[in-house]
C-alpha cells in the first residue's frame, strides 16, 4: 500500500505537443503523437448550427443526449446519466459523494483518481490487490485499466459494491476505455441499486477529446446531486451536438471497433518484429513493460514519435494507435532504427 | 433579509426555446428570444482546426488564453486567471473557497449564486442592503447587477473586501456584464491582495454562450485551488480558440460596445413609445418594472417575442436586445399591439 499524501499536485499526462517539443527539440515535426489512448480516427466532423455556439445549450437537447447515452452505454434510463464537460471535471465531485474517509485506488492506474480523492478530503492510498478495496469508504478502479488493460470481472465488482454499500461506501468504476470492450464486464446496467458510479468518456473512443464530454452513470439521486454541482449548461453546444449524433450512430461504432481491433493487431505485430513484447492494453493503446523502456522512449521521441512514459515506473510505456499511413511508417522506421542500434549495444547494458 | 433554505433546487432561467414553445404553443416561430442578456451579434464564427475537436486541449494554449484574458479584463497577470467551461460551473467551487458559514447575496439578483452557496454548505440569505454584506463569511454581488443594472462603486467594494478579508471572509463580484461597463468600477485589477474573486463571462458580450467559457480572477493561490478542482483540460478546444482570438480583438470589442450602446438607445425609445418605462439595465439588457408586466409578458410571448419574467417578482421583466431587422420589427409590432389593447382595457385592471 502506497500512501499518496502529496497527490494534490498536478500530474503529468500524455497528449501535450508543447512538452514533447521541449523534450525532443530536434525531432522531425509534426510529432506522431501516440502518447494518449485517444482514437486517431475521429468521428466525422460536421458543420454545427451557428446556434450551437451562440445560444445557451438547450435543456431539451441535454435530455436527448442523456437518453442516447443511457441506451448506448446500457444504463437503466436517462435519469441514471449525468453529462459533464469531460469526465475529468467530475472526478472531485464524484469523490465528494461520500464523507471524507479512506479512499483506495487500485493501482497503478490513471493518476487523477488519487489526486481527485485527495482534493475531496480523503486519505488516499493506492493498493495493488483488488480485495483490499473492500476496506475503503471510496474505492476507485479503472476497468479496463489504464495503462495495463487489466480487467476485473463484473461479478467481483458487484460483490465489492455490495460490501461497500452496506457500510455507506461508494465504488467508482472508470470505464474510460470500455467502448472497445469487454462490455459484458461493464457495470453500466448495475448502477440503479446505488453505491456505484460508472464513468464513461466520450472523447477517447470517438476521437473527439477536444470537445470535452463525459458521463457519470449512477442512481437517480446521485445523478441529481452531481447535476446540482455542475449547474445548468455544463455541456457546451458543440459537445451536445456531437454527443447526440455519434452516440446514436451504432453503425459507425461497430465498424470502428473492428478497425481498432485490426489496428491493434498491426501494432502488436510491428512491436514484436522489433523485439518489443506487448504486456497488455486495450484496443486503444498497448502496454509495454521492458528494461529498455527509457532508451526506447528516447529513441522514438528523437524521431518524432511520442509515446507515454511514467515517471515512477521507468520500465513501462504506453503506445497509442497511429492514424495515417505516414504515422504507421514513421513508427515502423523509428522502431527499426532502435532495434538495429539495440543489437549493437553492449550486452550488459541491454541485460 | 430573506432566508433561502431551499435554494438547492434547480432555478428557472431565460434562454430556453423548449420552455417558450410549451408556454406559447400558438406563437409564430421562430421565437425572437430576448429572454437572455446575451449579445445577439456574436463574434464572427470561423473554421476551427480539426485538432481543436480531436485532440486534448494544449496546456500552452490555455496559458495563452490566461495571458490574453488578464490583459483584456485588467487582472494583474495570467497567474490571477482561472479559466473554466463557463462561470456557472465555478460558482459552487468559488463558494467552497471559504469554510461553511454565512453567505449573504445582495439581491434580487442572479439566482444561481444563492443555490451555489447553499450547495457549498453555507447558510444563505439574500440582503437588499449593501452594508449588510459586511456580516458575511461569503458575500456575493453582481456588478452591474442582473436584472436591474444597479452598480456598486469600486471604492465601496474594496472597503467591504478589506473588512471581510480581516475575518477570513471572501467577496465574490460577478462581473458577467462588465464588458459593457462601467469598467472603472471593476475589481479585476484588485484581486492580487486576496479575499476577492471576480467572475467574468465570455459568452454574453461575445455572443457565444454555447461554447462555455468563463473566468475567475483571484490571487494566485486561490487560482491554483480552483484549477485543482477543475483539473486538466477543463476548457474545450473550441472555447480556447474563440477565447484567444476574440479577447485579443480590441477593435471588435470597441466597435461592439458602440453598437450595443446604440441598440440600447433604440430599444429604450421603442419601449417608451409604447408607454413602457425603462427602470434600469445594462447595454446588454433592459430592466422593466411595471404593474402590467404579466400581461406584457404574455402579449409579447403570444406574438413569439420572448422576454424574461421572474416568478417571485411579477412586476419585473428583463428584455434583451433584438439582433436582426426582422427581430426589431417583430418586437415593435408586438409592443404596438399590446399598447393599443392596453388603451382599451378597463382602467381599474390597468391600475
pLDDT digits (tens, 9 = 90+) for A234-247: 999 999 999 999 99
Q: Is A92 on the interface with B (CB under 8 A)?
A: yes
pLDDT at B97 over 50: yes
Task: For residue A208, give the nearest of B51, B269, B254, B347 by alpha carbon.
Answer: B51
Q: What is the pLDDT of residue B4?
A: 47
d(CA A314, CA A336): 22
Q: Cβ A234–B88 below 8 Å, yes or no?
A: yes
> pLDDT band at B10, cuts 50/70/90?
low
Q: What is the pLDDT of residue A349?
A: 42
Q: Cβ B13–A232 below 8 Å, yes or no?
A: yes
* Inter-CA distances, B111 with A73, B115, B287, B310, Å: 34, 7, 16, 10
B304 near B27, Cβ under 8 Å?
Answer: yes
pLDDT tens string A274-285:
999 999 999 999
Q: What is the percent of chain B with per-residue pLDDT over 70, rounded to a whole number?
A: 94
Q: What is the pLDDT of residue B344?
A: 65
Q: How far is B53 from chain A (nearest CA, A)?
A: 4
Chain B environment of A62 (Cβ under 8 Å): none
Chain B environment of A57 (Cβ under 8 Å): 210, 212
> pLDDT band at B350, cuts 50/70/90?
very low
Task: For residue B86, give the nearest of B94, B98, B74, B96 by alpha carbon.
Answer: B94
Chain B environment of A42 (Cβ under 8 Å): 50, 53-54
Supply the mean pLDDT for chain A: 94
Supply the mean pLDDT for chain B: 94
Q: Is A231 on the interface with B (CB under 8 A)?
A: yes
Q: What is the pLDDT of residue A344?
A: 65
pLDDT at B85 over 70: yes
pLDDT at B191 over 60: yes
DSSP H/E element including B343: helix B325-344
> pLDDT band at A14, cuts 50/70/90?
confident
pLDDT at B349 over 70: no
Which region among A150-154, A269-273, A345-349, B165-169 has the lowest average model confidence (pLDDT)? A345-349
Q: Cβ B237–A13 below 8 Å, yes or no?
A: no
DSSP H/E element including B344: helix B325-344
pLDDT at A192 over 70: yes
pLDDT tens string B267-290:
999 999 999 999 999 999 999 999
Q: What is the arithmetic mean of pLDDT over A23-39?
A: 95
Written as one string, the DSSP assignment of A37-76 is ---SSPPPP-PPPHHHHHSPPPHHHHHHHHHHHHHHHT-S
Q: pTM of the predicted model, to two decimals?
A: 0.94
pLDDT tens string A42-53:
999 999 999 999
pLDDT tens string A83-136:
999 999 999 999 999 999 999 999 999 999 999 999 999 999 999 999 999 999
Q: What is the pLDDT of residue A17?
A: 85
DSSP code, position B63: H
Substitution target in B36, B52, B53, B93 with the highest count of A β-carbons within 10 Å is B53
> pLDDT band at A342, cuts 50/70/90?
confident
Chain A environment of B16 (Cβ under 8 Å): 56, 58-60
d(CA B7, CA B320): 26
Q: What is the pLDDT of residue B19?
A: 86
Substitution target in A231, A241, A324 with the highest count of B β-carbons within 10 Å is A231
SS3 B151: coil
Which region among A47-61, A207-221, A333-347, B141-155 has the lowest average model confidence (pLDDT)? A333-347
pLDDT at B348 over 50: no
Q: What is the arithmetic mean of pLDDT over B133-142?
A: 98
Q: What is the arithmetic mean of pLDDT over A193-221?
A: 98
Chain A environment of B239 (Cβ under 8 Å): 236
> pLDDT band at B104, cuts 50/70/90?
very high
d(CA A212, CA A244): 14
Residues of chain A numbered 24-43 and touching chain B (CB < 8 Å): 33, 36, 38, 42
Chain B environment of A51 (Cβ under 8 Å): 210
pLDDT at B302 over 90: yes
pLDDT at B306 over 80: yes
Q: Is A224 on the interface with B (CB under 8 A)?
A: no
Q: What is the pLDDT of residue B173?
A: 98
pLDDT at B116 over 50: yes
pLDDT at B307 over 60: yes
Better pLDDT: B4 or A140 = A140
Q: Cβ B230–A13 below 8 Å, yes or no?
A: no
Q: What is the arithmetic mean of pLDDT over B27-48?
A: 96
> pLDDT band at B14, cuts 50/70/90?
confident
Q: Cβ B209–A54 below 8 Å, yes or no?
A: yes
- List CB contacts of A300: < 8 A, sequence separation 6 or more: A306, A307, A331, A334, A335, A338
Q: What is the pLDDT of residue B351?
A: 39
The CA angle B35-B40-B44, to the nearest 5 degrees, is: 150
Q: Is B8 on the interface with A (CB under 8 A)?
A: yes
> pLDDT band at B13, cuts 50/70/90?
confident
Q: What is the arithmetic mean of pLDDT over A166-182?
A: 97
- List CB contacts of B126: < 8 A, sequence separation 6 or more: B1, B2, B4, B104, B105, B106, B107, B108, B109, B114
Q: Helices marked H in chain A — which ranges? A: 17-23, 50-54, 59-73, 91-95, 112-119, 154-166, 220-230, 237-247, 250-273, 293-302, 325-344, 347-350
Amino acid at each position: 500500500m502506497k500512501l499518496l499524501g502529496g497527490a494534490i499536485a498536478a500530474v503529468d499526462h500524455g497528449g501535450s505537443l508543447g512538452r514533447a517539443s521541449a523534450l525532443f527539440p530536434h525531432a522531425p515535426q509534426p510529432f506522431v503523437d501516440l502518447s494518449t489512448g485517444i482514437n486517431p480516427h475521429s468521428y466525422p466532423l460536421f458543420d454545427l448550427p451557428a446556434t450551437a455556439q451562440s445560444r445557451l445549450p438547450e435543456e431539451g437537447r441535454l435530455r436527448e443526449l442523456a437518453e442516447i447515452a443511457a441506451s448506448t452505454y446500457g444504463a437503466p434510463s436517462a435519469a441514471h446519466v449525468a453529462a459533464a464537460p469531460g469526465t475529468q471535471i467530475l472526478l472531485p465531485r464524484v469523490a465528494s459523494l461520500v464523507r471524507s474517509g479512506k479512499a483506495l485506488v487500485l493501482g497503478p492506474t490513471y493518476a487523477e483518481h488519487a489526486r481527485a480523492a485527495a482534493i475531496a478530503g480523503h486519505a488516499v492510498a493506492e493498493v495493488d490487490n483488488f480485495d483490499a478495496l473492500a476496506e475503503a469508504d471510496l474505492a476507485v478502479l479503472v476497468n479496463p485499466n489504464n495503462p495495463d488493460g487489466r480487467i476485473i470481472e463484473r461479478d467481483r465488482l458487484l460483490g465489492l459494491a455490495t460490501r461497500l454499500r452496506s457500510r455507506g461506501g461508494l465504488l467508482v468504476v472508470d470505464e474510460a476505455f470500455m467502448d472497445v470492450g469487454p462490455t459484458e464486464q461493464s457495470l453500466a446496467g448495475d448502477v440503479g441499486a446505488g453505491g456505484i458510479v460508472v464513468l464513461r468518456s466520450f472523447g477517447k473512443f470517438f476521437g473527439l477529446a477536444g470537445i470535452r464530454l463525459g458521463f457519470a452513470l449512477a442512481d437517480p439521486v446521485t445523478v441529481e446531486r452531481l447535476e446540482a454541482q455542475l449547474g445548468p449548461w455544463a455541456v457546451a453546444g458543440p459537445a451536445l451536438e456531437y454527443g447526440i449524433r455519434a452516440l446514436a450512430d451504432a453503425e459507425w461504432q461497430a465498424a470502428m471497433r473492428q478497425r481498432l481491433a485490426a489496428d491493434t493487431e498491426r501494432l502488436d505485430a510491428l512491436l514484436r518484429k522489433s523485439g518489443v513484447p506487448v504486456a497488455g492494453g486495450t484496443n486503444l493503446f498497448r502496454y509495454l513493460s521492458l528494461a529498455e523502456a527509457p532508451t526506447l522512449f528516447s529513441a522514438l521521441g528523437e524521431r518524432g514519435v511520442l509515446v507515454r512514459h511514467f515517471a515512477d515506473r521507468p520500465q513501462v510505456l504506453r503506445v497509442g494507435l497511429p492514424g495515417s499511413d505516414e504515422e504507421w511508417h514513421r513508427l515502423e522506421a523509428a522502431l527499426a532504427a532502435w532495434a538495429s542500434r539495440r543489437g549493437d549495444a553492449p550486452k550488459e547494458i541491454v541485460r
